[in-house]
Each structure stands twice: as structure tokens, then as C-alpha cells.
Amino acid sequence: MVSVGRHENISLLSYSEVENVSGYVGNYQVRVRRKARFVDESQCTGCGKCADVCPVDVINTFDRGLSLRKATYRNSAQAVPGAYVIEKRGIAPCRAACPTDQRAQGYIALIKQKRYADAYWAIRREHPFPSVCGRVCNRRCEEQCSRGQYDEPVSIMKLKWFVADWAYEHRDELPNMRDKSLVGTPFSHAPTPTGKKIAIIGAGPAGMTAALDLVRIGHHATVFDSLPIAGGMMRVGIPPHRLPYDRLDWEIQQIVDEGVEMRLSTRVYDIPGLFTKGYDAVVIATGAHSAWKLNIPGTEHPDNWLSLDLLRRACLGEKIDLSGRDIAVIGAGDVALDAARVSVRLGNPKVKIVCRGMRASFNEIDEANKEGVEIVRNRVFKEVVIKDNKIVGIRCVEAKVGAIVNGKRQVEEIPGTDHVIPCDLVIWAVGQQPDFSFLPEGSHIRKLSSMGLETDDEMMTSMPGVFVAGDVRRGTTFFVVDAIGEGHHVARCIDRYLRGPEGIQEPPRLPTATYTKDEVEKMMEIGWAAENPRAKTRTIPAEERVNNFKEVDLALTEEEAIAEAERCLRCGICSECLECLTACERGAINHDMKDSFLDLTVGTIVLATGFKDFDPSRIPELGYGQLDNVLTSMEFERLINASGPTTGKVTLKNGQPPKRVAIVHCVGSRDDKYNEYCSRACCMYSLKLAQLVHDYVNAEVHEIYRDMRTFGKDYEEFYNRTRKKGINFYHGRVKGIEQQDGHLVVKWDESFFNQPDHVEVDMVILSTGFEAQADAAKVANMFGISRSPDGFFLEKHPKLAPVETSTEGIYIAGACQSPKDIPDSVAQAGGAAAAALSLLDQGTIALDPSVALVNLLRCAGCGLCVKACPYSAIELKESVASVNTYLCKGCGTCASTCRDKAITLIHFDDQQIVNEMIGALAVEPVVPGILSQLEVVHGI
Amino acid sequence: MAFEPKIIAYLCTWCSYTGADTAGIARLKSPANIRDIRVPCSGRVSPEIIMRTFEQGADGVLVLGCHIGECHYNTGNHRAAKRLPVLQALLAYAGLEPERVRLDWVSASEGERYSRIANDFTDTVRTLGPIHWRVAERGAHFVWEQEPISHRYSAFSDEQPKHAVYHTAIYDEQTLILQAAARELLTNKLVDCVIGFEVGPRGRTRPAFIHQPENVERLVWNQDCTHNLSAYLSKKLGWGTDGGKKKQPDKLPKAAVVVKPCDSRSINVLLAENRFQRDQVYIIGMACDGIRQGAGFSNDKSGPIQTRCAACNVRTPVVYDTLIGDSEATYREIPPEHIYPGIDHLDALTPIERMNFWLSQFDRCIRCYACRQACPMCDCPICLYERDDSLWVGMGIDVDEKRAFHLGRAYHLAGRCVGCNECERACPMDLPLSLIHRKMAQEMETIFGYRAGMAVVPPPFVTILGGEENLP
């Protein structure tokens, strides 16, 4: 194989598939799909370091499922070429769903292997704030998780939280480790400075992410924020009982440490002025920090608070005492819940949320209820009732809340349900919007009529050099992941703006790899992922939460996290954790590789597509798949192979070496129920296995054979040698294998006189027969060749043209034609090569004279013959049929399809057939019984 | 001497002919009645050849090919498997016992199977007795009853179509819409010609070819618009010929055509057969409530609607550019068993009675070819049954020859006939041709689930067997 792989005149296209074949002998056009192997074949040395670090386990089909391999693999140790392949179905749906492009499957796979630092780097690659998104994300990844079709999605967010906590706890050790978070990205920790300065207004998730990316490219980034503290909405919008700020501050500090200049407590009023100060680009990432109130009477009273104001004050640590107050929080979303739960913690007042219908997660609502927050649903607000300059309540009407139609919720008020809900403080959490006051009057930055700012495809506003990202672009609050995603995107856009085509391009995407429900169920059946239930959210008791800002939800423990990670279905196979990229010293790995196509023009084609071994689980009485220690011959071959899963040690399931082994012949062959034919090679390989077992396992060997077929040179001698070694041979047809007292009993009938009809053994090897490849029909159709009834490719003539096929220029060799052993395959391959060469060498071919012929005068050009031709040999040219005589095989289907008989078959034309028929009818029948040899009257 | 049938067997050279050889090598007995003719593939055996074989006096025809999936030519036998059942149905309907044609599969190693099939088939045909197909040879053995010319097939219908009410006001309104559409097309030079209907000088509705916008007032739409105008399309839109070689002109002619739902189906058939391009024709579809019996011949504007229209469940054109009329008002649910009216009476007869009926009909044929000329589908450059080589049919007016013509045409229209009844309307001798075409349409629907012209798809004969299709 190696010499074939290295031959200068042989180009070996491994990991490739023929997509399409057209043309005819001497002029075949073959389209080959070169499947993306994600490893550069010319660079890979086959060292295997990538496979060492790969966290994804896949069933090793080469070892017949007896071992696991990695998603980065080489089919076998002897594979030619020796380059590795990364098995990838596409992008996992969790990654595809995430705005930050987070490689969730990657860090889940690494958590499963307890490689938490690696998992942390895998997260950090796209995500600078894992502590935040591990806690407060809206988890679009989990919505798309394939596991959700089986039971519940993997708790992807909680796993990130676990890794983020681990990293925080080990923050002192992290700098001593190899930072892999930039592997596979265009960024660097110490880039060459580009000399470009970028001002970023707003230190929220979008602004900080953009700043981080920009400094890693080599630009100088300055972040301005009006607040005295960085983090934006993460810091002043998410209350501390959901996000401990030490974690966030640490993550922000990491960004600052990379060289981002921070200008806090600085409000920017003059955006055009920034350019005069030497900035080359500006990012507006100010978020949406202004809550609003409904336009109803009574909202001008000072006891109408805005939710975001309350949250900001609380988050910044201001001591607010709300004890004894009766608070109504107006709103239905997460902000309303946060405001209510923060209020509870500020003196334990009476808090109720009044809304049309809650939009927050059920879990959060549940926790809020436990903390004493009352929720009043289905209300429409009319007035804040003020008496004696004090709020006494909010007047509302009950309403039926329907579905969302055209983006608007259908609300139908119920007449006569007017009532006042008592309260003395109203907190408004009905929505947020950006504060655009910093935009200069008459500036060139245009707002959208709906909300947000106008941008082009490259995130640039109507003013050149001014970009926008995050909530401010959309004009309302979204989620942290959206902001981070936009931060990355805007950094790439700015880089392209500043550096032109040299700038960082948008990363290419493979298609999303999803599984259907049926596929997931099948995978769970074979134990592809653990059956563990989804980890439950644990919280600290409600009584411990009052009047303090202790974090409510608890992180997963290590055991929980690993159990949760084991639930992952590995949709993409390759998890794209990029560990291999880190490990590869040759830079051979490229995860963005795509399938490519190669168009070859060839004169002849040799098909050597091989066979598939018979699946013995189709024969229930043999117990394969049900009984332990019943193996197929291929499985045993792997077991006894020194590079196999057990490095050549043959053991039973219990780890003991077998003392007695039975080898059963003709499994799936010479059997009316399965395959009628003899698979030829099994007798001889069974004898080889018998000798191996005898010599190397030192076990007693029993062969149960139907007929011993030792047809080749030296084969009978080999058989006699095997017999002489003391191996037992029994003639018979095995009727069943049963388990008895920890042993296997093989029973057979048709035994010779005075011979046993059963034997008790520890291990059974089934000599499975050969079958045609599962896609043989597709291949035969593609290459226009025929198949015999057993499904193997059909040769043109069994004796005179054994390697030719019905299609000129296409040859077959090896077990794709019929079951055969290696010497025969090699001999046939030599024959096929010689036949192909002789055709090429001649340069000319003799065609069969019997081909279709068109009478142009009669042809109506209806095209039915074109559709009827099994070989696509006919096409319409200038509205009449035209036969390609190289492709035509002379079946005459066209001639019988043509209504006008404008197309006919030379040597079998209608005139000839009709005249032959008339001639045959002219002979009177011979009376039976007189001349028996005349009874068959062919050709009279 | 006992009757010994003559049987012609068409054997595929790769499987069945070799299988017959295998039978001989194995000294298996095969009846001497069978005369084997070697063909490359069972797909080569055209139904015309089988019909011709019966014409020539064979008592049975056996077609043997490779098993499905083992064809030497991949899928040649699929075509045989699709054509033969339809041919059997046609011959049976014309009065031949369907057992006289058999399609079976014999592979090269199945000598025993060949022998068994040959013996069994010979026994079957021997039991059926001599064929009564060739009238010329029968002599006094069998005489059919000659029917009077006035015999109409409508006598076979259960129920006479009810006297219909024709809404003249609606027709007038739709005529105005039609004229406006035609005027717009011609004024804007979108088409060269509008093919529609007009009322002739004697009050009969007839086809009209409008080339000028000022002439569109001639166009009408009424219950007498029976002609299938798509018959004119191939000639109007077809490519010119130049010394036998067709030439594509620089600019393809364009025409607009007024179609009823049935006519629109024939446009789909023509499109599937590359008669013209879809963009060459502007289709003005009319939602149709049925056409009056006798339309085109008389102008009494009343009377029952045609039998085929009473049983029609396609009331909206299947393809159109403009639809005129209310497709919901014309919609009618017809039970599937009533879609093909009139044929069940003939089905109920014995083969001899059916043959008797058809011979009495074909006897009246004068071979004027009016049916063929009127048919939108009959567009072969030189009709197979009008050639002077006598390969397929003699040029005489023997009833055998007339039958050969009509059955051959019926087979050629199987899977293509949309039931517009133009052949029957054009026939000066009142042959009930629609019965045989309708029967073939029914068979195509039963065997392949296929109705001609419902979409632009190739007819089932040229495609390979689908998973759900019946094997013989």
C-alpha cells in the first residue's frame, strides 16, 4: 500500500467519493467529491498528537466496535496515506444557535474529561464573560439541543457556570498555564501595533468585547463610560443575588490587562470631536439604560420609580430602605422580576408584580414567589391613584391576554372589572430604551424611525468611521450574548474599515449538524450518551435570602457537571474545541475546510469497491449480539491483532483466556434463507484462525464445517497441516448456540455417523460470508453496469470477459464482483489493469454494430426515446433524436418506445423481427411425441 | 387432429434465450408450438409487433425477459413490464382473451422455469382454442352481426345525460372578458395569433384564428365550443423544416389559445413531448361547465351536455396564463367509478361478444383518417399505419386492417389521450372511438395512477418501475 501511495504515477484520492460519471469509453468525466478531512494531507506527519488531545470518543468501526477512537483519527495504524482525519458532521446546533459562536460541544466534551482549564480556554475563545452568561443567559443553545428531543436539553449554561467558577477559583494558577484561548483565532496577546486608535463609548458587554478584540489585533482601544465602574448593564442591571460581582470584575480586569485603556466616569458628548483628537474610529455601545413609564395619569408623582434606576442604585451598593412599603412593580419581563426581587432584599417590603402576562422564565417566577413576591396577571393599567399627594394604588382593568399576532399581543379588556390595586410605590419595568442625548444636534448619525440607529451591512452608522453595537443599535434591551456577538462583529467590521481587505474576514460556517428525533432515539438505544437526567437547579433556602444579596442559585458540583456533560450527544462529532489545533506542531489542521470537487477525464475505470461482511445478528439462533463471547471472524481478527483493541490478547468478556473455541463455518452463505452462494474465502480463513487459536491462545479448537472447500494452490496441504495440529473437525450444519452454565453450547445436525452433535466451548467465532456493498445498486447505476442476482457487480462474460462489464471501458476487480480471497482478488485486479491498459494503448475501440439509428425524416422530436434510454445515449439535437453510438448498448428500448418507428435498432429492426415472425408462423406445429429432438424448434 | 396453437415467443438474448438453451441442454421438454425469436431485450418488443403477430395468425405471444433488477441493460425490462399490461388490457377490450399475451421473467440459468412457462402457456392457449382474431381467415366459422350505421354507443350508457341549463348571460359576460384579453395580447404584440372560437355564418360555433386586434369581436365563448384548439398549436408553433432537417427559426412564433380544462391537459401532454415551448403559448383557460351534445353540427343551443362532460371532474384548466370564469362554480365532485362512463357495459360482455361489437363498429370505418387528423396528439410526421411498406398494416379496407389501425392508434394514445373526443366528433361514420380511448385512460389510471396531461411529466411507458407499481 505504501508503495502505491508513493508511486509517482498514482494519485491516491482517499476520503473521497465519486459523485457523478458521464461520457463514454475513452472520455469518461468523473466528478470526485473530496470530503473535507480538516487536516492538510501534505503537512500531516501522522504523529497522532491531535488524537491524544481530542476529547470526543467515537466508536471505532475499524476495530468492529470493540474499542473507541477519537473524532480525530486514522482509520488504522497502517492506513495509507497516514494523515489523520477529523470526523465532522458540521456545526453543532448549540454553536449555531449562539450569537457569540460559542463552541459549547467543545467545552462540554472537555468537562467530561475533567480538563477544566482547557474547557475554560475553549469558552474564552469566543466569550470574555463566562461567569455572566453561565448565569443569566437566555440559552438559545439549549433550545436547539438535540438531546431535548429525547428528554431534556443538556444544561449548557450551567456547565459554563461550572467552568467559570473553576477558573475563578484557580485564577492564580491560570497565568502559569498555556493560554489556548487565542488558538484558531486571528488574535494575539502581543500583536504588532497598527497605530490606529479607536474610541469605544460604553463599557458594557458589547463595548468591552469589541475593545478586547481590537487590542488583540493591535489597535489601541479606549473605552469611555459615564458610570464609575465598567461592565455596563452586566454590572448595574443584573442584581448581585444573580451575579456575584467579584467574578465579573475579575473578567473585566483580564480585559483591561490586555491593554484596553479605560476612561470611566467620562461622558462623551462630542463624537465628531473624537476624530479630531486622533481617534480613527468610534464605537457607540451605550446600551439601553433608560426605563420608561406608561402614559397614564399619575405617573408624574415622585413615588413612580424606574426599574433601571432602582437596579443601578442597588447594584452600586447604595443603601435603600424600603421596609414597610407596599410596592407594585409594573412589567412582565426579567427586569420586572429583578426589580421585585431586589426590592424584597431592601427591607423586606410587600412586593407585587402587576402585569398583563409574565414573560420571564418559570423557574425565576417560582423563586420570586418563594421570596414573597406576589404576581397579579391579566391587568391593563388606567391610572396611578394619588390621594393627599401620596400614591394609594393603581387602577386597572382585568383583561383577556391572547396570543401575539403580528408582533403585538392581543389584549381584550373585560368591561366592569375596574378596580384599584393598593400600593404606595410604583416601580416601572415596562421597557427600556437607549439614551440618545449624547448624539450631537444635526449630526450625521441617523436614528431609525422605529428604534435604534441606522447602520449599513458593516455596522457603520450614517457617519463614516462611527460604528454601533449592542442594545443601542437595536434600541431596546436584548441579552448579554447578543451584545457580545455584536461586539465581536463590530471589531471585525472596524478592522476591515481600517485595514481594508487585510482586515479580519467573517469566519466561514459549515452547515448545522442536527439529528432527528428518530436518530436521537436510536443513538440513545446504543448508549451513545449517558441516560442521566438533566441536573436540577439547586438554590439556597428562601429564608436565607431575605435582606441580603447572597447568590440564590447554586453552581453544579463537579460530579453533577461531569454527569451533565455525559448527556451530550456530540451532534457535530468533532466538538471544535480546537485542542488539536493547539497540539499540532505542523499547523496541518484547518477546521474551516470544505468539501472540494475534482473533475477527472479518464479513458477507463476500474471498480474495486469490495464487499461487506454478513451481519450474523440476522440469524437469531446463533445468538450473535445476544450472547457474550460469540464473535464474528473480523472481530476475532481485531482481537488477535497486535495493533488491535487488546494488543493481541484474546480474552473472554470476563477477562479470562478462552480454553475451548468453536469456529462455525458458512454463516450467511450457502443458505437459502440468506445467501445461496458460497463465500469461498471463509473455509481458508477459518483454518488460519484455528491455527492461530491453537498456537497463540493454546485453546482447544473445534471447527464445525458444512463442506471443506480448499480450492487453491497449497490449500489442501494447509488443511491437512491444520488437522494434524489436533484441531477437531465436525461435519454439520449448526442449528443453534445456547448459553449453559457459563459456557456456550454449539449444536448441529447432519453430522457423520458416530460423531458428536454438540460441543461445549467458551468462545464461538462465526465465519461470516461476503455480501455486496450496501450501496452497490447506486454505484452500479452511476457507472451503468449490471449486477447479478446476488447483488455483486456482473462481469460481461463469466469465462471470456471476466473483468469487463456491460459498459465499455469499465472494469471490475476483487470482491465487488463476487466473493473471493486475496490471491484471486490480486489476480483479477491484475487482469482488470491489463484490460484497461490494452484499451488505452490501442487508442481505438471496436463498437458493437447493433446500435440505434434515427430516421430523421420520421422523427417528430417528441423526446420519449431520450427518456426511455437506460444509458442516456440519446439526446435531442435541433429537435430530432440523435444517438451517441459510444453510449448505445443496443437494447432497443427506444425503438419500441417510438410511436412513429423513426428510431430503430440495427440488426434487430422492425422489418427483420416482423419477417422472422411471419416466417416462424408459416411452419405448422409438429405433432408432439413423434420427433422429440424437433420439439425445441429454435431457428426453424 | 387436435388443435395445436402457434405461439411466438420473444426472448431476451441475455437471460431468456440463454434460459431456453439451458432447457435444451438439460433435455427438458419444451412444446414444439413455441417459436422463439431472439431480441436483445424484452424492452425491444414493441406492442405494435405483438399486435402484428396476432394479425399474422399467432394464437399466443409470450414475451420473456430478465428478472427485474437483473436486466443486462439495467432497466430495459422495466419498460416491457410497463407496456405489456396496458397492451393486454387493450387487446382484451377489443375482444382477445388477455391470457393469449404473457410477459414473464426467465434468467439464463432457469431452464426448468423456461420449460415450465412454455408448457403452461401452450396448455393455456390450447385450452383457449384457435384465435378468432383474423376475420379474413375465419370464413363461416364466425360471423359478426353487422350493425346499422345509426348505432350509437350512448345506448350503452346507464343514464342519459340530463337536459342541461346553459347560462347565456354568463357566457356573454365571459365572452367580453375573453375579447378584452385577446385585444390586449394582440395590441401589445405579445402573440402573433389568438386561436379561439367564433360563430360562423350558419350559427355554428367553429375555430377562429384572430391576427388583428380589430377582429377580436368575432371571439365567443359558449356551450358549443367543443373543438380542442390545442390541435392547431403544433403546426402554428412548430419549427420549420428544411429538406427533412428541422430548423429552429430565429424568433419562435407565439400564439394565444382558448382552452377548456380538457384541452389544457392536452397542452401539458404536448409540452412533455417537446412540441413547443411553454413560453410560446399564452393559455387563456376557461372554467368549463360542460359542452352541449351535437356542438359543432347543429345550432339549436339547447339539449343535454356531452356524456364525457357530465362525467368530467376537471372543471378548471390545469395550466393557464389567464383564467376566465368561476372555477368554484364549475367544480363538481364525481365518484371515481363514474369518471369513465360507458365502458363498463362493454367490460361486462364476453370476449367474443366484445370482438363482435368492435368488428361491427370497425366494419363501418372508411379509413378516411379524420379521427387522426382531428386528434391533437396524432402528430407523427408519417403515420405508422399509413405507410406503403405494409409492415404494420395493409393498405386495404379489410376489417382486420381497419382494426389494426384503430387498436394501434388506441395504444399510441394510451397515457396521452385526454378525452377531448375530437376523433369521435370528426368521424363521419360515427364510430364510438371515445369508448376505446376512455378504456385506455382508465387502465392507465388503474395500473399507474396516471392521468394524462395533469402535469408536464413523461408518460409512464418511458419511465422505470416505481416501488408501488404493479409487476405482472
Q: Name every residue whose Cβ is closer than 8 Å to that of residue A69 and which is 6 or more positions away in sequence.
A: A51, A57, A58, A59, A60, A62, A63
Residues on chain A touching B118 (C-beta within 8 angstroms): none
Q: Is residue B88 within 8 Å of B98, Cβ to Cβ?
A: yes
At B130, phi and psi to the nearest 5? -60, 150
Mean pLDDT of A241-268: 92
* Contact check, Cβ <8 Å, A879/B248: yes
Confidence class of residue B248 from pLDDT cuts 50, 70 and 90? Answer: low
pLDDT tens digits for range A904-932: 999 999 999 999 999 998 877 655 544 44
Tell me the whole-structure pTM to 2 decimals. 0.71
Among B32, B79, B384, the residue with its CB nearest the CB of A893 is: B79
Is B391 in contact with A871 (Cβ distance < 8 A)?
A: no
Q: Which of A680, A689, A673 is nearest to A709 (CA)?
A: A680
Give the pLDDT band (50/70/90) at residue A40.
Answer: very high
The whole-number pLDDT of residue B146 equals: 53
Q: What is the pLDDT of residue B370?
A: 93
- Whether residues A891 and B24 touch (CB distance < 8 A) is answered with no
Q: Which pLDDT value is given to residue B60?
A: 94
Do the Cβ atoms of A923 and B35 come within 8 Å?
A: yes
Residue of B57, B246, B379 lying closest to A878 (CB–CB): B246
Structure confidence at residue A450 as a pLDDT band (50, 70, 90)? low
Residue A838 C-alpha cell reads as: 490494452
Least confident of A126-135, A582-591, A740-749, B164-173: B164-173
- Cβ neighbours of residue A267 under 8 Å, at least 6 residues apart? A224, A226, A438
Q: 446500435: which residue's cell? A: A851
Name the band, by pLDDT with cuts 50, 70 and 90, for residue B150.
very low
Residues of B in contact with A855 (CB under 8 A): none
CA distance B336 to chain A (A): 29
Residues A401 and A378: beta-carbon distance below 8 Å: yes
pLDDT for the residue B163: 58
Across residues B212-239, what is the average pLDDT? Answer: 87
Q: How far is B241 from chain A (nearest CA, A)?
A: 10
Contacts of B404 in chain A (CB under 8 A): none
Task: For residue range B319-346, list pLDDT tens digits in order.
Answer: 999 999 887 777 777 877 778 877 877 8
The pLDDT assigned to A449 comes to 66
Q: Which residues in chain B have Cβ-Cβ distances shorter than 8 Å to A879?
A: 239, 246, 248, 274
Above 90 in pLDDT, residue A771? yes
pLDDT over 90, % of chain B? 42
Residue A635 confidence (pLDDT): 93
CB A592 within 8 A of CB A28: no
Percent of chain A exceeding pLDDT 90 equals 56
pLDDT at A934: 44
**Which has the higher per-residue pLDDT, B304 or B21?**
B21
Rounded mean pLDDT, B110-118:
93
CA distance B187 to B216: 11
Task: Please report the pLDDT score of residue B255 as a whole number.
Answer: 92
Cell of A183: 488558538
The confidence score (pLDDT) of residue B249 equals 62
CA of B204 vs chain A CAs: smallest distance (Å): 34
What distance, in Å, lies between the first and last C-alpha atoms of chain B? 34
What are residue B418's phi and psi, to 5 degrees? -105, 0
* CA B299, B303, B306, B309 torsion-angle sign: positive
What is the grid cell recorded at B275?
412540441
Please name the residue of chain B whose CA is at the shortest distance from the CA of residue A930.
B32
Banded model confidence at residue A443, pLDDT cuts 50, 70, 90: low
Instruction: Provide the pLDDT for residue A789.
Output: 81
Contact B40 A908 (CB under 8 A): yes
pLDDT tens, A624-649? 989 989 999 999 999 999 888 888 89
Average per-residue pLDDT in chain A?
89
Query: Is B41 within 8 Å of A893 when comparing Cβ atoms?
Result: yes
**Minimal Cα–Cα distance from B462 to chain A, Å?**
4
Q: What percent of chain A has pLDDT over 70?
A: 98
Whether B232 and B375 have beta carbons less than 8 Å apart is answered as: no
Judged on CB neighbours under 10 Å (0-12, 13-18, 19+), A172 is exposed
Is the predicted pLDDT of residue A736 greater than 80, yes or no?
yes
In this prediction, residue A826 carries a pLDDT of: 95
Q: What is the pLDDT of residues B254-290, one digit of tens each?
A: 899 999 999 999 999 999 988 888 888 999 999 988 8
Q: What is the mean pLDDT of chain B?
A: 84
Q: Which residue has the higher pLDDT, A60 or A447?
A: A60
Instruction: Spell out which residues of chain B touch residue A865, defining contact as CB-CB under 8 Å.
Output: 462
Q: Measuring CA to CA, which residue among B145, B157, B155, B154 is closest to residue B364?
A: B145
Q: Which pLDDT belongs to residue A759?
A: 93
Across the range B22-32, mean pLDDT stands at 90
CA distance A781 to chain B (A): 8
Search chain A and give the residue with CA nearest B391.
A911
Pairing of strands A763-768, A630-632: parallel
Q: Find the mean pLDDT for residues A822-841.
A: 94
Instruction: Say if the Cβ atoms of B31 and A928 lie within 8 Å.
Output: yes
Question: Does A796 have pLDDT greater than 70?
Answer: yes
In the predicted structure, residue A883 carries a pLDDT above the cut 70: yes
- Model ipTM? 0.91
Q: What are the backbone dihedrals phi and psi of residue A59, each rounded to the nearest 5 degrees, phi first?
A: -65, 130
Of residues A219, A218, A224, A228, the one with CA closest to residue A249: A228
- Top-ranked range on mean pLDDT: pick from A330-334, A936-940, B116-120: B116-120
**What would the pLDDT profile of B369-414 be if each residue is shown by its tens digit?**
999 999 999 888 888 888 878 888 888 878 888 999 999 999 999 9
Nearest to B382 among A858, A878, A940 (CB): A858
Dihedral over Cα of A804, A807, A809, A812: its sign = negative
**Would you call B46 and A860 a contact, using CB atoms and an 8 Å cutoff?**
no
Order the strands of the A374-376 sheet from edge to edge: A304-306, A425-428, A326-330, A350-354, A374-376
**pLDDT band at residue A64 under the 50/70/90 scheme:** confident
Q: Is the pLDDT of residue B470 over 50?
A: no
| Model confidence band, residue B136 (pLDDT cutoffs 50, 70, 90) | low
Which residues on chain B are in Cβ contact (under 8 Å) with A858?
A: 380-382
All three cell numbers of A431: 421597557
Q: How far is CA A62 from CA A67, A78, A578, A636, A896, in A?
A: 9, 12, 25, 12, 50
Q: Is the pLDDT of residue B153 over 70?
A: no
Q: What is the pLDDT of residue A922?
A: 87
Report whether pLDDT(A440) > 90.
no
Chain A residues within 8 A of B392 when measuring between CB atoms:
901
* CB neighbour list of residue A159: distance below 8 Å, 6 or more residues apart: A104, A107, A108, A111, A134, A556, A561, A564, A565
A109 in Cβ contact with A568 (< 8 Å):
yes
Q: Is the Cβ–Cβ distance between A287 and A255 less than 8 Å?
A: no
Contact A682, A769 (CB under 8 A): yes
A311-360 pLDDT per residue, tens: 999 898 888 888 888 999 998 888 888 999 999 888 888 899 998 877 77
CB spacing of A784 vs B74 below 8 angstroms: yes
